[in-house]
Chains A and B, each alone.
Chain A
Amino acid sequence: MPFQLCSATSATKDNNVQDSEEPIVLIFNDWTSQVVLTRITGKIFESMGQKIEYSFSTTDEQWGALSQGLVHVQIEVWQGTMAKMFNHMVTLGKIVDAGNHNAITREDWWYPDYVESLCPGLPDWQALKKCSAVFSVDGSSTGSYLSGPWEKPEAARIRALGLDFSVDTVQTANQLWSSLAKAKENKKPIILFNWTPNWVEAVYSGKFIEFPEYDIACENDPSWGVNKNFNHDCGNPKSGWLKKAAWSGTKNKWPCAYSTLSRISFTNEIISMLAAQVDFSGLSHEQAAANWIINNSETWQKWIPEHCLKHQGL
């Protein structure tokens, strides 16, 4: 886009704003909504004449990559699983908080509704103490909790709350959903990791396990909560935030892109819808993103600062 590059150069001179011509690297994670939102963001940056690249990273190593400037933008930072590292990196100044989405999130143990009849007392977590054997996959008294590859202190929580469960981890979100579909089809008891916003809530009726209310002290003070000896004797936040994160140098290197990123905000509904288009309706991530860009141009163009927009030819 030679024209756009020339425009960007002139805009810089006029407004003292200059985005680097180096590409912005956006992080892909391994769940649908994140991938679709990342592609939408990428398309918005591209619309601004900014070069972009995508780079897959697990949630475990994305923080190091962000802090080193190897990648620059993470569009979905969930409080329930990433708050600790996010806050840590922000505190160290390695990454910057690029603002919240207009969404409330929750990540925790989840079960489809039919399981309540198999384990009376749910969604209260105490019920799990009595019917852990119901969720056993090998006939023992130890129940099975199906988790994803994301960083979560599940084992610590099981220990702190005195549950007789083991954690069975799968490598992708799709494996979670296929296990859920299979269990529902057979009406077998299942407890798995789930989050909201997610397309699952639109397809499957179910509830999160109600663990003791989250408190920051739950993670740092063993004396807090039902178990005075261990941390993590609580659930994840029930009204968690969903943030965007950027490499600490992003603001200076790509000021227009960073300003745009800070304005980007998706709601629970949009996120669920986009995830469902892919996971349930069968669209590709690219198709879902492109559709949304086409159908919501007024929305995303407002996110581009005006002084950046008028020189982008958009």
Chain B
Amino acid sequence: MKSGDLFSQNSISSQLIRIVFGFYCLFAIVITAIQVFIEYQHTENIIKTELKINEDIFASSLSAGVWNLDIEQIQVTVNGMLSVPIISGVVIEQDNKILAARGLIETKEGAIYTYDNQGELQADNALKNNNLFSYSFPITYLYKGKGIPIGNASIYSNNTVVFDRIEMGITLIIVNAFIKSFILWLLFIWISRSILITPLNQLITAIKNVNLENIGNFQLNLKNKRKNELTIIEQSFMSMVKQLKEARESVLNSQRVLVEKVKQRTVDLELSTQKAEVANIAKSNFMSRVSHELNTPLNAIIGCSHLLTTNIASAKLENNSQNEELIKNIRISGEHLNMLVQDIFELTQNNREKLNIAEERVDLNDVVLSAINMLSTLAAERNVTLIYQPSPLTVFANTLRLRQVLLNLLDNAIKYNQVNGSVEIKLQENDMGQIKLSIDDTGVGIPNEDLDTIFEPLSRLAYAEEQCIDGMGLGLSIVKMLVDRMDIMIQVKSTVNNGSSFILYFSKLP
């Protein structure tokens, strides 16, 4: 809305201007009318006073003329009186009879007559509403020192004379009133525009243009030079906008945070779901694997037991070698079953609660040699050469758990090795006193994509599945769990078809 539109409409400011200016015009008209009326009355009084002055001027001449009833002299005097601009009529009377008359006169009955320059009644038709006013004075003659009333003179003037006299004055009054009203109107317009309409329009425009999306850039400047209600409105509005801005920002932030939280929760939920699914799958796999793994030795034990029973029943006792083999298988299967149960126990135990592992100074060389001895048979079966150069080094760990770690690592290095491959165990101590134990094999190697998951429980290489390598995929998980408990860092390097290297870093002895 433009300011002109606002001004032309029923805005408060334009209504205010119209009402105030309307009342001013009304009062101006009334005051001007009163002024004109007073001016008229004042001028009429002045003219009446001037009429009185004519008494002094013409009284003596009239007195002499009336005294002698010298009509000619009276008429000359009357003509002289009529030449005075303000006098529109004169009548000289004696004993209620007109001695001489000129111009417009009014009878006692209120009739108005016109007498010409010869003193003759000009017309019978009486003129009306000429608004005559007169001044009458007695004509006296000083006879023997005493004023003798000998007649009466009436001098008439009328409103035309008054209007002629005040014409310029009234014109000036009206022009003055008009100019004042016009100037006042302009001042009204100017002042109201500057202090009311323009700020109001700016305020209205600003309010209409408030954009919540861009409220941060909102500006309102009414440019009020003096503090007034609009300044308060401006300040209050800007304060409100500021609060609105802050509130909006707060809402947006809250919304943003909420969205982030929702997203995070969604991701978490998805992860949880995935984990749950993975866990569920892992559980299923674990149970399937456990069942499978447990089933194998159990079947072996059961089968061997049946054969052994049959052999005993058929008295094939002579074949002891066969029976010994069956018993050996039963033992081996039992030991294997025991190992599986032990692994499962350790793993589940670790998951339930933290293992309390007591650490001590351990002769690392002894532990390595015991592990090599325990797996020498397996290595021989697989035709894998175990290479170790004994080194007398001591670390801070738990002997049994450390041996289990080495057994698991060496078992994997043997199982996943090539035929005629080798496994080299090396012990080193650097300048800082840190001890490094590395187990390098010449096996199939671990693909890079599997490096991150090899320590996950039940995680097995595709190669193991393909080659039906015995195991549940718990060895490395147990290794990782144990080294973490003993503050031993483990590192894996591997190249497919070229072998893997598992390195243990022992902290410096305290």
Q: Which residues of A contact B (CB under 8 A)?
A: 55, 60-61, 63-65, 67-68, 70, 85, 88-89, 92, 94
Contacts and interface: CB of A to CB of B under 8 A. Distances in A.
Interface string B57-76: 00000000011111000000
Contacts of A55: 144
B141 interface: yes
Nearest to A88: B69
**Interface of B (DSSP majority class):** mixed
B150 interface: yes
Contacts of B143: 61, 64-65, 70
B68 A68 contact: no
A70 B69 contact: no
Given A61-B68, A63-B68, A64-B141, 6 more contacts: A64-B66, A65-B143, A70-B143, A85-B68, A92-B69, A94-B69
B67 A70 contact: no
A88 B141 CA distance: 19
Q: Which 5 A-B pairs have the closest CB atoms?
A: A64-B67, A63-B68, A64-B68, A92-B69, A68-B150
A310 B69 CA distance: 40
Nearest to A63: B68
Contacts of B144: 55
30 contacts: A55-B144, A60-B68, A61-B67, A61-B68, A61-B141, A61-B143, A63-B67, A63-B68, A63-B69, A64-B66, A64-B67, A64-B68, A64-B69, A64-B141, A64-B143, A64-B150, A65-B143, A67-B67, A67-B68, A67-B69, A68-B67, A68-B141, A68-B148, A68-B150, A70-B143, A70-B148, A88-B68, A88-B69, A88-B70, A92-B69
A60 B141 CA distance: 13
Contacts of A85: 68
A277 B263 CA distance: 164
Contacts of B66: 64
Residue with the highest number of chain B CB atoms closer than 10 Å, among A68, A70, A88: A68
**Interface of A (DSSP majority class):** helix
A227 B78 CA distance: 30
Interface residues of B, number: 10
A123 to B, nearest CB: 33
Nearest to A94: B69
A218 to B, nearest CB: 17
Contacts of A92: 69
Interface string B114-146: 000000000000000000000000000101100
A65 B150 CA distance: 10
Contacts of B67: 61, 63-64, 67-68
Interface in B141-180: 141, 143-144, 148, 150
A263 B70 CA distance: 30
Contacts of A94: 69
Contacts of B141: 61, 64, 68
A302 B68 CA distance: 34
Contacts of A63: 67-69
A64 B148 CA distance: 10
Contacts of A67: 67-69
Residue with the highest number of chain A CB atoms closer than 10 Å, among B68, B141, B148, B150: B68
Contacts of A70: 143, 148
Nearest to B141: A64
A207 B66 CA distance: 38
A63 B71 CA distance: 13
A70 B66 CA distance: 15
A67 B151 CA distance: 12
A55 B67 CA distance: 17
A72 to B, nearest CB: 14
Interface in B293-312: none
A65 B141 CA distance: 9
A88 B144 CA distance: 23
A89 B68 CA distance: 8
Interface in B65-112: 66-70
A94 B71 CA distance: 13
A85 to B, nearest CB: 6
A92 B68 CA distance: 11
Given A64-B141, A64-B143, A65-B143, A89 B69 contact: yes
